Structure formats: C-alpha cells, structure tokens
Copies of this chain bind each other. A is one copy, B any other.
Amino acid sequence: MSTPQDYIDEHKDHFLEELFDLLRIPSISTDSTKKEDIKSAAGFLADQLKKMELDTVKVFETPGNPIVFAEHAPHEDQPTVLVYGHYDVQPPDPEELWDTPPFEPTIKDGLIYARGASDDKGQAFTHVKAVESLLKTKGELPVNVKFILEGEEEIGSPNLVPFIEEHKDMLACDMVLISDTAMFAEDQPSITYGLRGLAYMEMEVVGPNRDLHSGVYGGAVENPANVLCEIIAKLKDEDGVIQIPGFYDKVVPLTEADREAFAALPFDEEEYKETLDIKAVHGEKGYSTLERAAGRPTLDVNGLWGGYQGEGAKTVLPSKANAKVSMRLVPDQDPKEIAKLFKDYVLSIAPDTVTVKVTEHHGGYAAVTDLEFYGLKAGAKAFEEVYEKEVLFSREGGSIPIVADFKRVLGVESILMGFGLTSNAIHSPNENFSVKDFYRGIKTSARFFELLPDFAE
C-alpha cells in the first residue's frame, strides 16, 4: 500500500487539472453580477468533498453567498481540526494589465497564473487533496477534520461570523487550520503567528448638484475633488503618523522582544526596493520596514475618483469626488471604534461648503497566536519535513479578521500555514501560485494531520 506522499506524487497532474477547473470559475464576491459563479464554485468544492465519503457534506445558504461545510470525525480521543478557506476572489481589474486571461489558468515558468491561484482557491484546495490522499491510502484519517469554506472573504465575511455563532456545536474544534498567507521567502516555510486588523471606509464629498464648467464657476464654488484631497492630506503627517485623534490610544507598543524578532527575519531592503521599483521605502518614523508592514497600524487610500478621467482635457468642476480608505490595525485596536474615530475626524475637518458622507465597509481585529500552542508545533514539524528547512515564525501585515472571530466564538487558536509567496501578486494583475508549492502544500497538510496526534499527547 502506498503512502499519502506517494499518492500525491502519483496524482499530481490530476490534482492540477481539478484546481484549474476551480480557477476557471470567476467567483468574484465584490461583483453582484457573479452570483451564479459563486454558486458554481461552492458546488465544485462540495462535489469534491462528497466524492470522499465523509460523514457530512452540506452547502448552507446564507443571506449572502453559500458556506460549504464538511465533517469526518472517526475518533473520540483525537483532536479536531477545522480547515477554513474561501472560494471567492478579488476582481481582476485592471484586467488589461494581465499577461494571460485571469480566469484561464496558465502555467508559465512553474507558476500557475490565475485570479485566486494563491488567494485562496489554490491554497485552500491543498487541504481537500491532503484529506483525499490520507483516505485513499490509509482508509481513515488520523484526526477528526471539519471544513468550512466561505464565499465572502473578499467582502469582509459579513455572514460568516453569524454562521459560526449559530453553529458553534457543529464547528466545535481544537484548532483552525488556514492557508491564506505567504511564506517569508521562496523555499522558506513560515508560520504566521500575527495578523493586522482592518477598518475599511469610503467617503463621498458632494458639492454642486451637477458637474459645472470650471471656467464659469471655478473660484466661486468649492470643488469637491480639491476638498477630498485636502481631507486625505490631513489623515497622515509627513512622518507617516496618523492624525485621527485617539487612533493610537489602544495600540500595544512593540516590545523589545517583538522588535528583536522582526530584526532577526531575513530581509534585504535593497532587493525589496528593486522588486517594487521604488526609489525609497517610506513609513512611520522610528520603525523598520518590517515593523511598519506588520507591527504598526497604518492608513492607505485604496481608491480615488472624481471628475473627468478620459483622454484630453475636460474643463469640469465635478459635482462629487470619492475615496476608499483603509486602516490596518494592531492589538488592541477595535475596528468599530477606529471606524467611528475616522468618521468623526473626517466630518470635523470637512468644510461646511460641501456635504461629506462617510460609510464603513468591513473591519476586523488584529490577532496574535500563542507560540507555545501544540498545533503550531505540529505544523512547524510537518513543514520542516516537506520543505527540509527550519520554519520561521512571523507576523504579517495583512488581515484575516476571521482569525480573531474563531478565537472569540469557538475559543481556539488558528494555525496559519501559508504556502503562498509575497511575489504571488494577490489582489493584483498576474496573480500566481507556484506549482511546486501547490504540491508541497498538499504534502505538508497531509503530514500535519499525521503528526498531530503525537503533539497532542
């Protein structure tokens, strides 16, 4: 009888074909016209899980996109792992910057190019294939496994938390396993033990009731696009310090240990600048690039629009101007509270010549996992066996708000076992995922399930 690792090697091509089928579905959750594709992606994963004859596979409808749940619990005395992933993806735009079509997966130089290749279809799928490989070769799983695969991660998981709260017993587990992060470097297995939180806002500055001729009205009527810029300019000072009153009140300062951990990570700033083609790094004064990117809160304009964007010169004084602005948070900032502080500050600095509307998109708490947790140690061991290299434990700048929610509702830690790379261009044109890491991911996941009973003792 072959081992799970052999089985994975023998089914490489087939696994890749299956992933490609999933990647071809444009399950874009920010686009309300893609509801059918969302349904297809959920159905595809449910079918995959059903083929394995698990105890339960069910697609739950929600007020938004469906949640796929599966359970296989053969053991009373072994830990239960809840695998979380998401099958929705970011929009592909600007689509003209893709070298190959975003929903026609293409392999080039060992990389799978497609929207969702890394974030998160490719990574989530590794665990599905790991469970299949264990069942096909061992006849049974070494631990209990549950799956929860959602379709609204890219829009802030509005229906996931209510779902978890409502199905606490069904989802009861000893840990959550998530692959939705990047490794620190190529061939460098890494476990993310910290994530930033998020507060994502949108604002609209409204002036006159129609676009005006800038010659006839310019100088006499306030220009909403100028005002929008003035408001945004007042959100940060030149040292990268956020100017919203109270913003830093609950920030847990980086400890000496934190800063030493950041400093110990391998990082080449020259290479970083070269890869991004920037002349200099920039951020909050007094902190290193890694600290700025993962250990400190920040504020970014994510989108900006108003007036004429076409070719040539249209002399218009726009009726309104808009921006999307998000803030990354650290422990113990409260996203709801930060959203309110943002709104209060923006309204307080807005001139009374215009009307400013501030709305809140999704948000989430920052999360840091205990480094002594046995699940984390089992994960590190599995990683080291497959990648043949010591694991790095790092904090990341991105947000997976659900990690804080799992902790709060189910009372468990999450293991962030990322198989991606920062060069995967997630949320960007030409998103990709290494074919090699797709296979190593499946193998690492399978080994993790096999090793976990030993660490649990």
Report whether B218 and A298 are in contact in the complex, using a CB–CB cutoff of 8 Å.
yes
Q: Which of B32, B306, B307, B312 contacts A361 (CB 8 A)?
A: B312
Of B229, B292, B355, the contact of A219 (CB 8 Å cutoff):
B292
Asked if A331 is at the interface of the complex by the 8 Å CB criterion, the answer is no
**Does any Cβ of B come within 8 Å of A426's Cβ?**
yes
| Listed residue (A289, A297, A310, A355) with the most chain B CB atoms within 10 angstroms of its CB | A310
Contact among B216, B220, B290, B317 for A302, CB-based, below 8 A: B317
- Could you tell me if B280 and A302 are in contact, using CB atoms closer than 8 angstroms? no
Q: Once the chains bind, are A217 and B302 in contact (CB under 8 Å)? A: no
Residue of B nearest to A301 (CB): B225
Q: Are B315 and A198 interface neighbours, CB within 8 A?
A: yes
Across the interface, A313 reaches (CB within 8 A) one of B282, B302, B398, namely: B302
Contact at B222–A226, with CB atoms within 8 Å?
no
Give per-residue flags for A286-320: 1 if the beta carbon is below 8 A from chain B beta carbons, else 0: 00011011001111111111111111111111100
Which of B210, B226, B290 is close to A301, meaning CB atoms less than 8 Å apart?
B226
Assembly CA distance A257 to B428 (angstroms): 59
Q: Is A189 an interface residue (CB 8 A)?
A: no
Asked if A93 lies at the interface with its beta carbon under 8 angstroms from chain B, I say: yes
Give the residues in chain B near A318, CB-CB below 8 Å. 301-304
CA distance A230 to B34 in the complex (A): 37
Whether A326 contacts B30 by the Cβ 8 Å rule is no
Q: Is A142 an interface residue (CB 8 A)?
A: no
Q: Are B276 and A221 in contact (CB under 8 A)?
A: yes
Partner among B292, B301, B305 whose Cβ is within 8 Å of the Cβ of A220: B292
A47 within 8 A of B: no
Whether A304 contacts B321 by the Cβ 8 Å rule is: yes
The answer to whether A314 and B328 have CB atoms under 8 Å apart is no
Residues in A lying within 8 Å of B, measured CB to CB: 29-32, 90-91, 93-94, 97, 154-156, 182, 196, 198, 200, 202, 207-223, 225-226, 228-230, 232-236, 240, 276-284, 289-290, 292-293, 296-318, 321-324, 326, 328, 351-355, 361-362, 396-399, 422, 425-430
Contacts beyond the supplied A226-B232, A301-B318: 6 A-B pairs with Cβ under 8 Å: A215-B328, A215-B399, A219-B283, A219-B292, A220-B289, A304-B304
